[in-house]
Amino acid sequence: MQIVTVLCISRYEKFMKGAINIEILFKDPIYITRPLLPNLQDVYSKLSEVWESKWLTNNGPQQINLEKALKEYLHVENLSLFNNGTSALLLGLKALDLTGEVITTPFTFPATVQALDWNNLTPIFSDIDSTTLTLDAAKIESLITEKTTAILGVHTFGNPCDVEQIQLIANKYNLKVIYDGAHSFGTSLNNKPIGYYGDMTMFSFHATKLFNTVEGGALTFSDASLVEKLSLLKNFGIANPEEVVLSGLNAKLNEIQAVVGLEVLKLVETERKKRHVIKRAYEYYLKDVPGINVLTKLEGDDSSYQYFVIQIEEELYGKSRDWLHETLKEYNVYTRKYFYPLCSDFEWYEHLESAQKVNLPIAQKAVKQVLALPYYGELQIESVEKICKVIRDSI
């Protein structure tokens, strides 16, 4: 009966048949991530300042302080905060006055292409690189038409796009370049901050991200003249109490979110170091498993340490990604098929030639192979070892 209290009935039945190793089973669930949370007393202290000021939103002092701190951390000159990453990307695209078609990746979170939809822009899907799972720069140029106005890349799992080649193509055809950097907070490339590249980069500060403001996001951008325009767009287009100069939204980061962000930012470097150790542990225990390939290989300043992601080649491993995903659940370990499904497979894109499966062979393969494993600073090395033992013993 003691075993039954740990296992659900189905797991108990599998255990009795020898299908589950009780020594590896986790009593408490191991989730894909855990939010980085500051000390509550530190948050209370900052909140008292907000309560005293009675300034809860609309460009308050906490938001201004966070904006300044993030400019320093991300090494960028221009940054604008938003209530979430989706709003940031949506209004960033709006600020650039884009029209027509935008070349983008099918292998991304829905928000990337949804931001295009809400701007009446047509996504043109390009296949991805088999190693980084970012846009394959070699496939972009053939998709450019007279309607193309921009390229929207995604730094997938923190793996940077081929930014130099993409910029050469953009310069040749006079296109804007926007990056979805939701996974790339703190990433550097060629000793330059990731926000240095392209015309604009969006960062997400969702609770699942390395740095969070519970919900939130930001845009970094090269054109300083966009500062005022973005400020208007995220505040209904209101220029002053008696003048509305353009059509905007309510997409401001509030003072409470900013307080959380200021305290979380103090913890980020320690969290990165912890995740580095966990990453090394995963790599050590999985290094000789046939068919298991680590996708998130970057380290140090080059890495965001956002996710630890593997790619499973069923022919070599002997089991599918979906099988492993479900098997780990039996041990109370929750992984994520991330990204799944492909955005190009959404029914409202069925009519697009670029969305046809035959045009996206690498993406169609990757979406069936990729699995994000539990990854956060509080994850114990012993837990990593047990997770990897399930993966290894499943061969």
The residue assigned the tokens 């300083």 is 224
Collapsing DSSP to helix, strand or coil, 200 comes out as: strand
Strand pairing category for 79-82 and 217-221 = antiparallel
DSSP letters along 130-195, please?
TTT-SB-GGGTGGG--TTEEEEEEE-GGGPPP-HHHHHHHHHHHT-EEEEE-TT-TT-EETTEEGG
Angle between helices 85-95 and 110-117 (to 10 degrees): 40
Contact 101, 361 (CB under 8 A): no
Q: Is 209 a catalytic residue?
A: yes
Instruction: Count Cα neighbours of 223 within 13 Å in the Cβ-side half-sphere.
Output: 14
Candidates 46, 94, 176, 209; catalytic one: 209
Collapsing DSSP to helix, strand or coil, 81 comes out as: strand
Going by C-alpha positions, the residue among 190, 158, 192, 153 that lies closest to residue 305 is 158
What's the CA gap between 262 and 281, in Å, rounded?
30
What's the CA gap between 147 and 129, in Å, rounded?
24
Helix spans in the chain (H): 2-6, 9-16, 40-53, 61-74, 85-95, 110-117, 163-173, 226-233, 255-265, 268-286, 314-317, 321-330, 361-366, 381-393
Q: Which residues fall within 8 angstroms of residue 325, CB to CB, at 6 or more apart?
A: 335, 337, 371
Contact 390, 331 (CB under 8 A): yes
CA distances from 170 to 104, 137, 173, 174, 267 (A): 13, 11, 5, 6, 37
The residue assigned the tokens 């670029």 is 354
Q: Which residues are catalytic?
A: 209
